[in-house]
Amino acid sequence: MSLVRSRLGGALGLLIVGLLAAGCVTPPEPPLGTGSGAVLDKSLVAYDNLDFQTDRRPIFDNTCESLPPEVFSELGLTGEPMTAEGIYVGCSITESWGGVFFSQTAPAGRESQRRYFVDTWRGTGIYPDHFRRWILDERYYTVTYENGSVGNECTTAVHTGYQGPFEVAVSIPREESDRLHLLDEDYPIDQLIADYCSRAEEMAEVLVAALDPEGGSRLAAG
Protein backbone atom coordinates (compact mmCIF):
# COMPACT_ATOMS: atom_id res chain seq x y z
CA MET A 1 0.00 0.00 0.00
CA SER A 2 1.20 3.51 -0.73
CA LEU A 3 -0.38 6.90 -0.31
CA VAL A 4 -0.38 8.77 -3.61
CA ARG A 5 -1.46 12.29 -4.39
CA SER A 6 -1.12 13.27 -8.03
CA ARG A 7 -3.08 14.18 -11.10
CA LEU A 8 -2.75 10.52 -12.00
CA GLY A 9 -3.46 9.03 -8.59
CA GLY A 10 -6.53 11.05 -7.72
CA ALA A 11 -7.77 11.88 -4.22
CA LEU A 12 -7.77 8.41 -2.64
CA GLY A 13 -4.64 9.13 -0.60
CA LEU A 14 -6.09 12.37 0.74
CA LEU A 15 -9.25 10.57 1.80
CA ILE A 16 -7.23 7.97 3.70
CA VAL A 17 -5.25 10.68 5.45
CA GLY A 18 -8.39 12.51 6.45
CA LEU A 19 -9.82 9.40 8.07
CA LEU A 20 -6.74 7.96 9.78
CA ALA A 21 -4.08 10.61 10.14
CA ALA A 22 -5.84 13.42 11.94
CA GLY A 23 -4.16 12.40 15.20
CA CYS A 24 -7.21 10.56 16.52
CA VAL A 25 -5.86 7.08 15.79
CA THR A 26 -2.62 5.69 17.23
CA PRO A 27 -0.38 4.38 14.43
CA PRO A 28 0.57 0.69 14.73
CA GLU A 29 4.29 1.46 14.83
CA PRO A 30 6.74 -1.14 16.16
CA PRO A 31 8.91 -0.01 19.09
CA LEU A 32 12.45 1.17 18.50
CA GLY A 33 14.74 -1.85 18.39
CA THR A 34 18.39 -2.76 18.16
CA GLY A 35 20.33 -4.93 15.75
CA SER A 36 18.26 -4.25 12.65
CA GLY A 37 15.34 -2.07 11.68
CA ALA A 38 11.87 -3.36 12.47
CA VAL A 39 9.44 -4.27 9.70
CA LEU A 40 6.88 -1.52 9.12
CA ASP A 41 3.26 -2.25 8.35
CA LYS A 42 2.26 -0.87 4.95
CA SER A 43 -0.80 0.79 6.50
CA LEU A 44 1.50 3.29 8.26
CA VAL A 45 1.72 5.38 5.08
CA ALA A 46 -1.77 6.68 5.89
CA TYR A 47 -0.71 8.31 9.18
CA ASP A 48 0.61 11.82 9.72
CA ASN A 49 1.33 11.37 13.44
CA LEU A 50 4.27 8.96 13.30
CA ASP A 51 7.30 9.00 15.60
CA PHE A 52 10.28 9.98 13.47
CA GLN A 53 13.41 9.56 15.55
CA THR A 54 16.42 11.78 14.78
CA ASP A 55 19.20 10.31 16.96
CA ARG A 56 20.98 8.01 14.50
CA ARG A 57 24.05 9.06 12.58
CA PRO A 58 23.70 9.85 8.85
CA ILE A 59 24.25 6.92 6.50
CA PHE A 60 25.94 9.11 3.86
CA ASP A 61 28.70 11.71 4.26
CA ASN A 62 27.84 13.53 1.02
CA THR A 63 30.97 12.48 -0.85
CA CYS A 64 31.01 10.34 -3.97
CA GLU A 65 34.20 8.69 -2.72
CA SER A 66 32.35 7.11 0.22
CA LEU A 67 30.04 5.14 -2.08
CA PRO A 68 31.05 1.60 -3.05
CA PRO A 69 32.71 1.86 -6.51
CA GLU A 70 30.54 -0.90 -7.93
CA VAL A 71 27.31 0.87 -6.99
CA PHE A 72 27.54 3.31 -9.90
CA SER A 73 27.40 0.58 -12.52
CA GLU A 74 24.64 -1.14 -10.54
CA LEU A 75 22.67 2.10 -10.81
CA GLY A 76 23.33 2.26 -14.55
CA LEU A 77 25.38 5.45 -14.21
CA THR A 78 28.27 6.15 -16.56
CA GLY A 79 28.97 9.83 -15.86
CA GLU A 80 31.81 11.12 -13.71
CA PRO A 81 30.80 11.35 -10.01
CA MET A 82 31.48 14.84 -8.65
CA THR A 83 31.38 15.73 -4.95
CA ALA A 84 29.57 19.06 -4.60
CA GLU A 85 30.56 21.50 -1.86
CA GLY A 86 29.11 24.83 -0.83
CA ILE A 87 25.43 25.60 -0.29
CA TYR A 88 24.41 22.19 -1.64
CA VAL A 89 26.61 19.28 -0.64
CA GLY A 90 26.35 15.77 -2.03
CA CYS A 91 27.31 13.53 -4.92
CA SER A 92 26.34 14.75 -8.39
CA ILE A 93 26.42 12.81 -11.66
CA THR A 94 25.40 14.10 -15.09
CA GLU A 95 24.03 11.67 -17.69
CA SER A 96 22.72 12.12 -21.23
CA TRP A 97 19.14 11.71 -19.96
CA GLY A 98 19.54 14.15 -17.03
CA GLY A 99 21.26 14.20 -13.66
CA VAL A 100 21.25 12.63 -10.19
CA PHE A 101 22.16 14.05 -6.79
CA PHE A 102 22.61 12.05 -3.58
CA SER A 103 22.70 13.84 -0.23
CA GLN A 104 21.90 13.69 3.47
CA THR A 105 22.13 16.85 5.54
CA ALA A 106 20.70 18.13 8.81
CA PRO A 107 18.16 20.96 8.55
CA ALA A 108 19.86 24.36 8.71
CA GLY A 109 18.92 28.00 8.99
CA ARG A 110 16.47 29.59 11.40
CA GLU A 111 14.89 27.04 13.72
CA SER A 112 11.38 28.16 12.83
CA GLN A 113 12.11 27.60 9.13
CA ARG A 114 13.96 24.29 9.29
CA ARG A 115 12.37 21.36 7.49
CA TYR A 116 12.62 17.92 9.05
CA PHE A 117 11.49 14.62 7.58
CA VAL A 118 8.17 14.91 9.41
CA ASP A 119 7.49 18.04 7.34
CA THR A 120 8.28 16.21 4.12
CA TRP A 121 6.09 13.27 5.21
CA ARG A 122 3.16 15.58 5.85
CA GLY A 123 3.77 17.52 2.65
CA THR A 124 4.24 20.76 4.58
CA GLY A 125 5.13 23.52 2.14
CA ILE A 126 5.13 21.06 -0.78
CA TYR A 127 2.52 21.49 -3.51
CA PRO A 128 3.57 18.99 -6.15
CA ASP A 129 1.60 17.27 -8.86
CA HIS A 130 2.98 13.97 -7.55
CA PHE A 131 3.46 12.98 -3.89
CA ARG A 132 3.78 9.37 -2.74
CA ARG A 133 4.41 7.89 0.70
CA TRP A 134 5.72 4.34 0.76
CA ILE A 135 7.82 1.86 2.74
CA LEU A 136 11.27 1.12 1.31
CA ASP A 137 12.59 -2.40 1.90
CA GLU A 138 9.85 -2.92 4.52
CA ARG A 139 11.86 -0.81 7.02
CA TYR A 140 12.10 2.82 5.95
CA TYR A 141 9.47 5.55 5.79
CA THR A 142 9.89 7.10 2.35
CA VAL A 143 8.39 9.92 0.30
CA THR A 144 8.73 10.52 -3.44
CA TYR A 145 7.63 13.86 -4.81
CA GLU A 146 7.89 16.06 -7.88
CA ASN A 147 9.71 19.36 -7.50
CA GLY A 148 11.65 21.96 -9.45
CA SER A 149 10.46 25.26 -10.86
CA VAL A 150 9.14 23.62 -14.03
CA GLY A 151 8.43 20.18 -12.58
CA ASN A 152 11.84 19.09 -13.78
CA GLU A 153 12.94 16.95 -10.84
CA CYS A 154 11.75 14.05 -8.73
CA THR A 155 13.10 13.39 -5.23
CA THR A 156 12.93 10.28 -3.08
CA ALA A 157 13.51 11.07 0.61
CA VAL A 158 14.25 8.16 2.96
CA HIS A 159 13.99 8.44 6.75
CA THR A 160 17.03 6.65 8.21
CA GLY A 161 16.73 7.91 11.79
CA TYR A 162 18.90 10.99 11.27
CA GLN A 163 17.77 14.63 11.46
CA GLY A 164 17.62 14.84 7.68
CA PRO A 165 16.54 12.14 5.21
CA PHE A 166 18.78 10.45 2.68
CA GLU A 167 17.70 11.95 -0.64
CA VAL A 168 18.00 10.89 -4.25
CA ALA A 169 17.06 13.67 -6.68
CA VAL A 170 16.75 12.83 -10.37
CA SER A 171 16.30 15.62 -12.91
CA ILE A 172 15.73 16.14 -16.61
CA PRO A 173 18.59 17.60 -18.73
CA ARG A 174 19.51 21.18 -17.88
CA GLU A 175 18.94 22.28 -21.47
CA GLU A 176 15.36 20.99 -21.35
CA SER A 177 14.74 22.78 -18.05
CA ASP A 178 16.02 26.03 -19.53
CA ARG A 179 13.78 25.59 -22.59
CA LEU A 180 10.71 25.05 -20.43
CA HIS A 181 11.57 28.15 -18.38
CA LEU A 182 11.58 30.24 -21.55
CA LEU A 183 8.27 28.73 -22.67
CA ASP A 184 6.75 29.11 -19.18
CA GLU A 185 5.71 25.45 -19.28
CA ASP A 186 6.02 22.43 -16.98
CA TYR A 187 7.56 19.10 -17.85
CA PRO A 188 4.78 16.50 -18.43
CA ILE A 189 4.00 14.98 -15.03
CA ASP A 190 3.17 11.53 -16.39
CA GLN A 191 6.54 11.40 -18.15
CA LEU A 192 8.35 12.63 -15.03
CA ILE A 193 6.74 9.90 -12.92
CA ALA A 194 7.49 7.16 -15.44
CA ASP A 195 11.06 8.15 -16.30
CA TYR A 196 12.41 10.05 -13.31
CA CYS A 197 10.39 9.30 -10.16
CA SER A 198 10.67 5.58 -10.84
CA ARG A 199 14.41 5.97 -11.34
CA ALA A 200 14.78 7.93 -8.08
CA GLU A 201 12.97 5.18 -6.18
CA GLU A 202 15.01 2.38 -7.73
CA MET A 203 18.27 4.19 -6.99
CA ALA A 204 17.23 4.89 -3.40
CA GLU A 205 16.59 1.19 -2.83
CA VAL A 206 20.03 0.22 -4.15
CA LEU A 207 21.88 2.95 -2.27
CA VAL A 208 20.17 2.43 1.08
CA ALA A 209 20.84 -1.31 0.86
CA ALA A 210 24.52 -0.55 0.27
CA LEU A 211 24.89 2.20 2.88
CA ASP A 212 22.61 0.96 5.67
CA PRO A 213 22.05 -2.79 5.20
CA GLU A 214 20.65 -3.47 8.69
CA GLY A 215 19.06 -0.09 9.28
CA GLY A 216 15.54 1.24 9.32
CA SER A 217 13.32 4.04 10.55
CA ARG A 218 12.64 2.20 13.81
CA LEU A 219 16.24 1.25 14.61
CA ALA A 220 17.47 2.79 17.85
CA ALA A 221 20.65 4.86 17.87
CA GLY A 222 23.62 2.98 19.22
Mean pLDDT by 10 residues, the chain (222 residues): 59 48 76 93 96 96 96 97 93 98 92 88 83 98 96 98 97 97 97 98 99 97 84
Give the pLDDT of residue 12. 46
Residue 146 in domain: yes
Give the pLDDT of residue 157. 98
Residue 216 in domain: no
Give the pLDDT of residue 25. 79
Give the pLDDT of residue 15. 45
Residue 35 in domain: yes
Residue 221 in domain: no
Residue 222 in domain: no
Give the pLDDT of residue 6. 61
Residue 114 in domain: yes
Give the pLDDT of residue 1. 58
Domain housing 122:
3-211
What total number of domains does the chain contain?
1
Residue 219 in domain: no
Give the pLDDT of residue 131. 95
Whole-model pTM: value is: 0.91
Give the pLDDT of residue 11. 44
DSSP secondary structure string for all residues of the chain: --EEEETTTBTHHHHHHHHHTTTTS---PPPPBSSSPPPPPGGGGG-S-------SPPS--S-GGGS-TTHHHHTT--SPPEEE-SSS-EEEEEETTEEEEEE-----S-GGG---HHHHHHTTT---SEEEEEEETTTEEEEEEEESTTS-EEEEEE--SSSS-EEEEEE--HHHHHHHHHHT-PPPHHHHIIIIIHHHHHHHHHHHHHH-TT--TTBPP-
